[in-house]
Structure 1
Amino acid sequence: MVRMINFRGLALATALSAATAKELFQGTPITMPSEIRADSAIGQKLLSRARNLDNNGAVDFSFVSSYAIKFQGCHHISQWNEDQEDEDDVRILTKRLVRFRLCPLETCENDKTGGCSSKYGDYVVDLNTFVEAYLTNKEYEVANNCGTYGALCEEECENASDNDGCIAACYDAYGMKECYDGVNYDFDPLDYAYCAQYDFRRRALEGRQLDDAEYYMGPYCADQGGEVHMGLFNDETCTSFSYNGESYFYSMTGAQLPYSDDSLISNRCISCYDDANDGMKQMCNTFYQSSGKCETKMSVDYPNESACTYIEGVKIIRNDGVIQTSSVKKSKPAAVAIGFFTTISILLVAYVYYLRTKLKRAQINLSGSGLT
């Protein structure tokens, strides 16, 4: 099914089939953006929802325009639920955070788990804020790209005999399959970027027996923090996972729980440079001022290290970018002490063995001389 896009004057064709369209389209190269623009919806959402501006406002953050944001992973912490009112409310809720890095634009690599290895700053932000901004950007990007490629496909399919087939092959050739396929108009993940109640009564299959429980849906850190998935929960804070949530969702709706296997978030770089105005977008300025940061390794005059203590405990422990919280560090004095006492213990064991052997030999000598 072709996604609803305005193809002005797309002619009914007679000569080109969908089977041969893909080969033709591959001969028309298009430069795809290597980074998600920070001046797009994701940046504007991300920064506007995390505002905590410095009252002085005199610091120059214009250098951020030469950086890109790189998602590294997410993790969760437990904290007291200050909004609890009823006995059934969750007392200890789960707070989920995203860690990402500011890398120089020229060195930020989508395929690198860390994005870059030098001259970077590390930052943290609320997961729900990041997910909402990211999904908003995704819809924005898809709409823009589908419009752009729609015009190209309109021209390419001008003489096609199979309109839908030609358009589908055209999008597929450009890597824009989402423009015509796989769109679930009954489910919008943006509705659940923040934990929200899921209405099974409206979506359940005919004849399904619903229980009286309330269910909530929201994003959470999956695959040890390397991905962000959607989950089904029993509480409005999306802390308590629903037992057999995925199977229950399928039994009620006949469909797989969206994003239960695939990650909501990719690992692409997000540019902070604004091409239109040749500078930094206000959204990056706002984001920079409001995020927790550790700029020890960033090449700036006045690095901000206010969040280094916390971020130091969030380590990338594998090459695939998985993040886990860890406060364990190697201690040289402790290692020396352990080595010293280990050596002493070995020497004591050897000495005891020596004494026991010597005592046994003395007993044997006494026995042989008839003195025992």
Structure 2
Amino acid sequence: NDDDMELYIGPRCSSDGTRIFIDLFQDENCWEPYQSSDGQTVEDILGYQISYHFLKNAYSGESKDCISCEEDVNDEDERDEEDADNVNEMCEELYDASAKCESTHGISSGFIQTNRDEDDNENQVENEFAVCGFINALVWDSYTETGEINIFDEQDVIIRETTTVQKGALSFLALVAFSLAGYAAYLHRAIDEG
């Protein structure tokens, strides 16, 4: 632009949250939208019109249907239909690149479990605990989506209770500990007197 300012281009949601647009941002993370004083748009900066045809695939207007990840058997390009699974290539790549939290949710044959021994995915396997912690923090409103501590929303509190079996086991272990302490005192006295 004319201000010799570095601008970044990235996706953003429309004000009503139903569409995705390409917009200008001031930072490389695309968190701070660029407000042009002279009304410059992405098209003005790039010098050509942007087609939103492909972005429309990310939403379906009023119906809010999800995009299917099922592989299209009539794919003219034949890019991915010959592999063993029935998942389209876009969904495979999105899943492979995404952070995973599978083990704590009972997934026994997911990405983490099947790739634990491969060196290619070592980082994702090691980060699973951190990813699960971050997801739990979002679910319980501890942090916002950008990682900031959420001080405004009420925090959820989990009240934990001990079960009857746990209470019984603790009582039994306490009784055993006191009995052993008494027996040790008895032996100590017997040795001192003997």
TM-score of the superposed pair, with normalisation by structure 1 = 0.22
Task: Using CA pairs under 8 Å that are at least 6 residues apart, name the structure with larger relative contact order, 1 or 2.
Answer: 1
TM-score of the superposed pair, with normalisation by structure 2 = 0.36
